[in-house]
Amino acid sequence: MVTGGKFHDYAAAGKPLKDELVIDAHTHLGVFNRYHIPDADTDSVVREMDRLGVNRACTFAFAGVNSDFVYGNDVTAAAVGKYPDRFVGFAVVNPHYPDEMVPELERCLALGFRGIKLIAAYQDYPEDGPNFFPAYRFAHENRLMILSHGWSSPEFLDRLAKDYPNAILIVGHYFHMPEYAEVVKKHPNVYQCTCAAGLNFGDIERMVAAMPVEKIIYGSDFTGWPMPFSFGPILYARIPDDAKRAILGLNMKHVLEELGA
Amino acid sequence: MAGEPLSFFDANCMVGRYKQFRTGSFHTTDRLLEEMAYHGISEALVVHALSRENHPLTGNAAILGEVDARRNLHPAWSALPPRSGELPKPHDFIREALDKGVRAIWLFAGQYSFPLSEWCVGALVEELEEHRIPTFIDADPEYAAFGPERFDWDHIDELCRNHPGLQVILSAGRFRSSNRLLYQLMERHNSLHIELSGYWLYRGIEFICREFGAQRLMFGTRMPLRDPSCTVAIVNYAEISDEEKRLIAGDNLRTLMKEARW
């Protein structure tokens, strides 16, 4: 078992990760109906990223999750426009507006977005429902990432990865057991996000044991969650420092380079 | 973090077999000590899983055996509404607790399905208040609860209003949907605190310190269910002063526990 190491010492000292590449694959912007978020304006978020040593963040707006997805995408566009080197925009779509889905994705693509965020559980619509398929096709045709809160089932994700190989499909959360591990291993276009790892003891070690480390990417869920709450379990994990370095940034760097983002 | 390493005192640890055990986790005291050492946690307040899930009678006795002779582990007990007579009367119960070195009591209101209203827990709480026992309240029905917190905020308000000397520490699997309500109550009651294992909000520590003061927060990990690195990291990386970090990491809890007395 690997213990200690550079990242462990960073965490124990509260030292920012400024010497390392950190790319966060799963973040939010804006205010939220469900709970209060302090210091949530985009300038403050960039300042927090600077303070902790987070280089880039794939992001989308809370407004798109629980309210008007077009307005939410405007919030994201404003952040990407102001900080193009710090934010990678993800468009939120709503399956209850099927006629607007592709036009909205085309608008977001023109604004420089490089991904799509699905939050089907919050919209009371399944990921394997027909209204999402135009988004899957769009991602495939335009070489985009899709980060989804869940994917209905490993079988569905397996089929999607095969049918849309140009899309990068990201399992948005890790809840204790690596239920998508076999699909992640099988398809080069499927990745696992660390978001929510740590809510159960030993999540990172369990994840690394279940799938190739190069398929695991760091996601924090900020500004819902504190960034250190999410990178803490990686820094302290009993895995080699090189694995931590890959998860925190290098893996996502390769994905972004491949997509030209 | 410019100063010395923080002396973490974990307010929320449990030992003993628990129902929703997670693969890869642990339940023994020896392993808890190992994890504390790895994560830089020097002390812990520990409750037995039986106290939470089965009955205080069994768990409260069991935890004394677990932490005996391990000076950096401190026993915590749980209590019930008193009229059933399952536990000694509150006066005697608190006396026994203090005699045996117990300086914190949990009210697992969700697990044992009782409201925190005066008619139900008033007699018990009077004793806790009189003897200045830090009182942890968890309203989740299960240890592994993950959904929105279950506090009845009117009852928390009533408890704090009727017993202003009672030091209340709220603990939840996740403080989330009602943090706006929580802040209303923190404004009203200086005796109200939050244990951090469920308070995972972006810059939440900074906000509480700014608005209410660092003395209102207590470090806790919820081991062995949760990964302790989550809350260790949010304290180590918080944008607050070193003194505020020391308070949150452990000094707040140490201060409250020292005030418990017969």
Q: Which domains does chain A have, with CATH numbers?
A: 6-13+20-26+90-259 (3.20.20.140)
Q: Round to whole Å and give the CA distance between B151 and B107.
A: 12
Residue A256 has pLDDT above 70, yes or no: yes
Q: Residue B45: CB partners within 8 Å, gap ≥ 6? A: B9, B10, B11, B12, B13, B74, B75, B76, B104, B253, B257
Q: Given 3-state DSSP classes, what are the helix, strand and coil percentages for chain B, each rounded to the nearest 5?
A: 45, 15, 40
Check A199 against B207: CB less than 8 A apart: no
ipTM: 0.96
pLDDT, residue A42, reads: 98
The token pair that represents B217 in the structure block:
């927060």
**Between the CA of residue A195 and those of A149, B122, B251, what are the distances in Å?**
10, 42, 31
Residue A2 has pLDDT above 80, yes or no: no
B109-119 burial: b if 16+ Cβ within 10 Å, else e: bbbbeeebebe
pLDDT, residue B110, reads: 96
CB A128 within 8 A of CB A152: yes
Amino acid at A3: T
Residue of B nearest to A204 (CA): B227
pLDDT, residue B70, reads: 76
CB B118 within 8 A of CB B82: no
- Measured between CB atoms, which of B202, B205, B234 is closest to A37? B202
Contacts of A237 in chain B (CB under 8 A): 229
* B8-259 classified as CATH 1.10.1740.10: no
Amino acid at B215: Q
The token pair that represents B254 in the structure block:
């140490």
pLDDT, residue A41, reads: 97
Distance of CA A28 to the CA centre of its chain: 10
pLDDT, residue B52, reads: 97
Q: Crossing angle of helices A98-110/A133-142, nearest 10°?
A: 20
Q: Which residues numbered 176-215 in B keep a CB inside 8 Å of some CB on A?
A: 176-180, 183, 200-207
- Helix or strand (DSSP H, E) at A109: helix A98-110
Residues in chain B: 262
Q: Beta strands of A93-214 (E only): which ranges?
A: 115-118, 145-148, 168-171, 190-193
Question: What region, left, alpha or beta, does residue A238 occupy, with left being phi > 0 and alpha being psi -120 to 50 degrees?
Answer: beta
Contacts of A12 in chain B (CB under 8 A): 5, 40, 236
CB B16 within 8 A of CB B4: no
How many Cβ atoms from other residues are within 10 Å of residue B150's Cβ? 15
The token pair that represents B60 in the structure block:
């409260």
Q: Round to whole Å and give the CA distance between B60 and B113.
A: 19
Check B202 against A198: CB less than 8 A apart: no
Mutation site, A44, A50, A200, interface B, largest B CB count within 10 A: A200
pLDDT, residue B3, reads: 65
Q: Average pLDDT for residues A138-164, to the nearest whole number? A: 97
B239 inside 8 A of chain A by CB:
yes
Residue A175 has pLDDT above 90, yes or no: no
**Between the CA of residue B73 and those of A77, A201, B66, B138, B243, what are the distances in Å?**
51, 20, 9, 21, 24
Residue A1 has pLDDT above 70, yes or no: no
Domain regions of chain B by residue span: 8-259
Q: Which of A197, A251, A137 is nearest to B226 (CA)?
A: A197
Per-residue confidence in pLDDT tens, chain B, 262 aa: 456 789 999 999 999 999 999 888 999 999 999 999 999 999 999 999 999 999 999 999 999 999 977 779 999 999 999 999 999 999 999 999 999 999 999 999 999 999 999 999 999 999 999 999 999 999 999 888 877 788 999 999 999 999 999 999 999 999 877 899 999 999 999 999 999 999 999 999 999 999 999 999 999 999 999 999 999 999 999 999 999 999 999 999 999 999 999 8
Distance of CA A79 to the CA centre of its chain: 16
Q: Please identify which residue in the block is written with the tokens 């869920």.
A: A221
Strand-pairing partners, residue B135, are: B105, B168
Q: Mean pLDDT for chain A?
A: 96
CB contacts < 8 Å between A and B, how many?
A: 131
Instruction: Render pLDDT for B150-164 as a digit per residue (tens, 0 to 9).
Output: 899 999 999 999 999
CB A50 within 8 A of CB A22: no
Three-class SS of residue B30? helix
Between the two ends of chain A, the Cα-to-Cα distance in Å is 36
Q: Which of A134, A67, A75 is nearest to A100 (CA)?
A: A134
